[in-house]
C-alpha cells in the first residue's frame, strides 16, 4: 500500500451537519480499501480565485494508505459529489 494525501475543497454553504456527513462519507470510502491515518479540517479559507461563484470554501485534508487501484474510484466519487468544488490526490514520497 502507498501513502497518499488528498485535499478536498467543499462548498462553504453547507451546514455543519452536511459538512460532517461529506467528510465521513469519504473517510468511510477510503477505509473500505485502505486506512485513514489523519483527517484535518482546516475550516473556511478564502480562495485565490473564484470557483463556481464561491470566494471561500471549506478545506479538508486526508492522509491515508491505499492500493493504487483504489485512487481512481476515490477520484470518481469526488467528481460526482455536488458538494466538492475541487480536489487533488497526491502520492507521498517515501
pLDDT per residue as tens digits for the range 20-75: 999 999 999 999 888 999 999 998 999 999 988 889 999 999 999 998 889 999 99
CATH number at 43 reads 3.30.70.60
Burial class (CB in 10 A: 0-12, 13-18, 19+), 30: buried
Q: Which domain holds residue 26?
A: 2-86
Residue range 4-27: average pLDDT?
A: 91
Q: Is residue 19 part of a domain?
A: yes
Q: Is residue 93 part of a domain?
A: no
Q: Is residue 44 part of a domain?
A: yes
Residue 8 has pLDDT above 90, yes or no: yes
DSSP-based three-state secondary structure for 70:
helix
Q: How many domains does the chain fold into? A: 1
Amino acid at each position: 500500500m502507498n501513502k497518499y494525501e488528498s485535499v478536498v475543497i467543499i462548498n462553504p454553504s453547507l451546514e455543519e451537519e452536511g459538512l460532517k456527513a461529506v467528510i465521513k462519507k469519504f473517510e468511510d470510502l477510503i477505509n473500505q480499501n485502505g486506512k485513514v491515518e489523519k483527517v484535518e479540517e482546516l475550516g473556511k479559507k478564502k480562495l485565490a480565485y473564484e470557483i463556481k461563484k464561491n470566494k471561500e470554501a471549506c478545506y479538508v485534508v486526508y492522509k491515508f494508505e491505499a492500493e493504487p487501484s483504489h485512487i481512481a474510484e476515490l477520484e470518481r466519487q469526488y467528481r460526482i459529489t455536488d458538494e466538492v468544488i475541487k480536489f487533488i490526490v497526491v502520492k507521498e514520497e517515501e
